Structure 1
Amino acid sequence: MRFPQNLYQHYHAHLYYDSSSVEVAQHIYQKLQSMSEYRLGRFHRKLVGPHPQWSFQIAFTRSQFDEIITWLERHRQDLSVLVHGDTGNFFLDHTEHAYWLGEEHKLNLRMA
């Protein structure tokens, strides 16, 4: 497992949760909303895109990278977070440009 590196201009992080951890994820989502520096996606209770668990997305830039990665590592508890560059190349962004905080999950890349 590789720790996230700041190599791209734009990023997404996807925090993963399920029915047993949805309350923890909601708390993290609300904290991030109050920070307002980051663009948050919808709080999904279904599978979306290549993600094998429920998730929500955090969009951020290179200049926000260190702060948000440190914050997520401190506050994610036992939840996994996929962090990847947002370069416009779906397949590479979710493979070569991807890093994990916590347990790594297998993505559904058939849609690439």
Structure 2
Amino acid sequence: MSVTQSTITGFHAHVYFEPSSAEAAHSLCRRAAELFGVDMGRAHSRPVGPHSMPSCQLDCSPEQFGKLLPWLMENRGDLIVFCHGKSDDHLLDHTRNAFWLGEAQPLNLTMFN
């Protein structure tokens, strides 16, 4: 396998929550934005896009993600976090270039076909 320049330009971390854990998720995302300068998207109270649960998105550069990831691992509590790369291939980003902190949840990938 030859090494080439990555097509991943950044990362998303989607913090999933239930109604009972919404405030914990919002607090985690606000704190991440404060500590690491990542962009915090809207918290969606229902599933949006390919996500099967309500979530809040953190958008960051590769450099920010390198610092954010260990912090999320240690501070997410029982929250599930879906992490994926950002490139021009959304299907690949949400499948091969993705991982979960916590239990994997189903995704609706039909929107990428």
Q: Classify the TM-score, shorter chain.
A: 0.7 to 0.9
- Residues 34, 81 of structure 1: alpha-carbon distance in 2 compared, 3 angstrom cutoff: same
SS at match of 1:43: strand
1:15 equivalent in structure 2: 15
User: Which structure ranks higher in relative contact order (CA pairs < 8 Å, sequence separation ≥ 6)?
Assistant: 1
Distance in 1, matches of 2:52 and 2:22, equals 15
- Identity between Structure 1 and Structure 2 (%): 38
Deviation at 1:96, TM superposition (A): 0.6
Corresponding residue of 2:64? 64
Q: Give the partner amino acid of 1:110.
A: T
Name the structure with the higher helix share: 2
**CA drift at 1:80:** 0.8
State the distance in 1 between where 2:36 and 2:76 align.
18
Q: CA deviation at 1:36?
A: 5.7
Question: CA–CA distance in 1 between the matches of 2:12 and 2:77?
Answer: 19
Could you tell me the TM-score, scaled by structure 1's length? 0.87
**Cα distance change of structure 1 residues 66 and 86 upon mapping to structure 2, 3 Å threshold:** same
| 1:1-112 → structure 2 map (5 Å cutoff) | 8-35=8-35, 37-112=37-112
Unaligned runs of 5+ in 1: 1-6
Number of matched pairs: 106
Unaligned runs of 5+ in 2: 1-5
Give the number of the structure whose alpha-carbon radius of gyration is greater. Answer: 2
